[in-house]
DNA sequence: TCGTTTGTCTACCGATCGGTAGACAGTGGC
DNA sequence: GCCACTGTCTACCGATCGGTAGACAAACGA
C-alpha cells in the first residue's frame, strides 16, 4: 500500500506542475522509482489515476468544509475572518491544490457543468444567503451581488495561490512556493473591505481594539 | 499568407481550450483543413507555433497598454474606471486571452521569471506609485498594499474571465463564453470599494449624480 | 520560355505515448 | 509441500507524437 500512496503523491505533484496531458505515466513511474506497469497495476489507466488525484483533493476539501460553515456560532466579521482563514490555510498547506483546481477548470470547463451545479452552486447559495442577511441588517454593503461576490473571491484566492511563484516574482519577493504574507493579508483586506460597511468595520475594530 | 493566419487562429483557440501539451499539430492542421507538413512549413516547430500564439497575444496587449496608462489626463476615480474598463474589455473581446495567460503562468511558472521581472514588474510599479499618490492625498485607503493590490486585481480579472464558463454555471446563468454583466460589475465594484476611501467615493458619486 | 520560388502534398522517420501479456519472486493459509 | 495471491518486473503492442525528405504544381521574374 506504500507504493500506491507514493504514486498518488508524485502524480499530484507532476499534474499540478505540468498538467494532465503534460504528465506521462513514465514520468510518474520514474519519480516514484518503479517501472511503468507497476503504476498501471495500482491504477488501471491514466484517466483513473488523474481522477484519483482529484478525488484525493476533494476529500481533503471535505475535511475542512465543516469547519468552514459549521463555524456557524460566529457571525459577521468573526465568521468572515474564520472562513477566509480556513480558505487561505487550505491552499497554503499544499500549493498544488489551487493549481489542480485551476487546471481542472481550464481543461474541462465543459465537463464540470454538472459538478458545478450539484457541488459548487449549493455552497455558493449558502454563503450568499449569509451575505444577504448581513445586507438586511446593514453590516454588509447593499450593492454587493452576493453570488458573484462569493465566486469572485474564490477565483481570487485560487488564482493568487496557484500562480504564487510568478506572483512573488512580480512583487520582487523571494518567498518561494507560497503566497507572501503581505500578499495574503492584502487578499483578505480586499475581500473584507469590499464586503462590509465601513461603519461596521470601524465599530468592530474599536470593540476588539484591533489595529 | 492567408493559411498562416488561419493556423495561428486555430492554434490559439485549441491551445487556450486544451493547453499546449494537449494540442497536437495534427489537430491544428485538421482544424484549418490542411495537412500537418503545411503547418510545419509556416511554423518550423511546435514550440515556435506556441511562441507565436503568445507573441500575438502580447502584441494585442501592447495595443491597449497606451490607452490604459496614457489616460493620464484622468485622475482618481475616473482614471480607475477607465483602466478597469479597458482591462475588462481586453479579456471580454476574446475569451481565449485570459485562458492563455493563466495556462502560461501555470505551465511555465519558472521560465516566466525574467518576463515577470522585466515586463510585468515595471508596470505594476507604475500603477502602485499612482496608488501611493492617492494614499498621500487621502483618496485611497491607507492600509492598501499597492503592489499586492495591483497583482491581486489582475489575478482576479484573469481567473474570472478564464473560467467564465464554469463561473456562469455556478451562478446559474447561461451567458456562454463571456462573463455575465452582473459578475463583471461586481468585479469592478470589489476592486473600487477595496481601493478608494468611502468618503471619496460618495463625494464623487454626489458630484456626478451617478447611482 | 525557362529557372526559381512558394506552398502543399504523400510517405516516411524514430521516439514516446498509454496499455497488455506473461514470467517471476515473495508471502501467506492450509 | 503446495497453492493462491500480491506485486513487480521484462518485453512487447499499436497508435500517435513532432518532425523530415522529396515530389509536384502554381506563380513569378527575367
Q: What is the pLDDT of residue A73?
A: 59
Q: Look at residues A110, A35, A96, A55 and name the one whose alpha carbon lies nearest to residue B109.
A: A96
Nearest CB to A190 within list B152, B186, B211 = B152
* B150 or A65, which is more confident: B150
Q: What is the pLDDT of residue A54?
A: 95
* A63 or B8, which is more confident: B8
Q: How far is the CA of B47 from the C1' of D26 (A)?
A: 30
* Phi, psi torsion values for A140, nearest 5 degrees: -115, 140
Gap from A16 CA to chain B (nearest CA, Å): 8
Interface of B with A in 44-73 (CB under 8 A): none
B173-178 average pLDDT score? 78
Q: What is the pLDDT of residue A209?
A: 43
* B81 or B113, which is more confident: B81
Mean pLDDT over each residue of chain B, to the nearest integer: 88
Q: Tell me if B84 sits within 8 A of B194, measured CB to CB.
A: no
**In the predicted model, is pLDDT for residue B94 greater than 50?**
yes
Q: What is the pLDDT of residue B147?
A: 94
Q: What is the pLDDT of residue A100?
A: 97
Q: Which of B123, B153, B154, B156 to mutate to test the interface with A (most CBs of A within 10 A)?
A: B156
**In the predicted model, is pLDDT for residue B177 greater than 70?**
yes
Q: Which alpha helices (DSSP H) does chain A contain, by range?
A: 2-18, 25-32, 36-42, 46-69, 76-93, 95-107, 113-115, 121-136, 146-162, 164-171, 181-193, 198-208
Contact status of A129 with chain B (Cβ, < 8 Å) = no
DSSP string, A55-91: HHHHHHHHHHHHHHHS-TT--HHHHHHHHHHHHHHHH
Q: Using a 7 Å CB cut-off, which residues contact strand C?
A: A 23-27, 36-37, 40, 44-47; B 1, 3, 34-38, 41-42
Q: How far is the CA of A36 from the C1' of C14 (A)?
A: 21
Q: What is the mean pLDDT of each run of 10 residues along chain A (211 residues)?
A: 92 97 97 96 96 94 82 74 90 94 91 80 88 90 94 95 89 80 94 88 56 37
CB-based contact A145 B117, cutoff 8 Å: no
Gap from A37 CA to chain B (nearest CA, Å): 23
Nucleotide nearest to B41 (CA to C1'): C7
**In the predicted model, is pLDDT for residue B210 greater than 80?**
no
Structure confidence at residue B209 as a pLDDT band (50, 70, 90)? very low
Gap from A33 CA to chain B (nearest CA, Å): 24
Query: From A106, which residue of chain B is nearest by alpha-carbon distance?
Result: B163
pTM: 0.91
Interface of A with B in 2-31 (CB under 8 A): 18-22
CB-based contact B120 A147, cutoff 8 Å: no
High-pLDDT (> 70) share of chain B, %: 92
**In the predicted model, is pLDDT for residue B203 greater than 80?**
no
Amino acid at each position: 500500500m506504500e507504493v500506491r500512496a507514493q504514486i498518488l503523491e508524485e502524480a499530484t505533484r507532476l499534474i499540478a506542475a505540468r498538467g494532465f496531458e503534460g504528465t506521462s505515466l513514465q514520468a510518474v513511474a520514474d519519480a516514484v522509482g518503479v517501472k511503468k506497469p507497476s503504476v498501471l497495476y495500482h491504477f488501471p489507466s491514466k484517466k483513473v489515476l488523474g481522477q484519483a488525484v482529484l478525488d484525493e483533493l476533494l476529500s481533503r476539501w471535505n475535511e475542512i468544509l465543516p469547519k468552514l460553515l459549521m463555524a456557524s456560532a460566529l457571525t459577521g466579521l468573526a465568521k468572515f475572518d474564520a472562513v477566509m482563514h480556513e480558505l487561505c490555510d487550505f491552499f497554503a498547506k499544499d500549493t498544488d491544490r489551487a493549481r489542480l483546481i485551476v487546471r481542472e477548470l481550464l481543461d474541462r470547463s465543459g465537463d464540470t457543468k454538472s459538478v458545478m451545479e450539484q457541488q459548487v452552486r449549493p455552497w455558493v447559495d449558502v454563503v450568499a444567503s449569509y451575505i444577504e442577511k448581513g445586507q438586511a441588517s446593514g453590516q454588509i454593503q447593499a450593492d454587493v451581488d452576493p453570488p458573484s461576490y462569493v465566486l469572485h473571491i474564490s477565483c481570487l484566492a485560487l488564482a493568487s495561490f496557484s500562480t504564487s511563484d510568478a506572483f512573488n516574482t512580480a512583487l520582487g519577493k523571494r518567498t518561494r512556493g507560497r503566497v507572501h504574507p503581505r500578499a495574503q493579508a492584502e487578499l483578505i483586506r480586499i475581500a473584507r473591505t469590499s464586503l462590509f460597511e465601513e461603519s461596521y468595520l470601524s465599530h468592530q475594530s474599536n470593540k476588539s481594539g484591533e489595529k
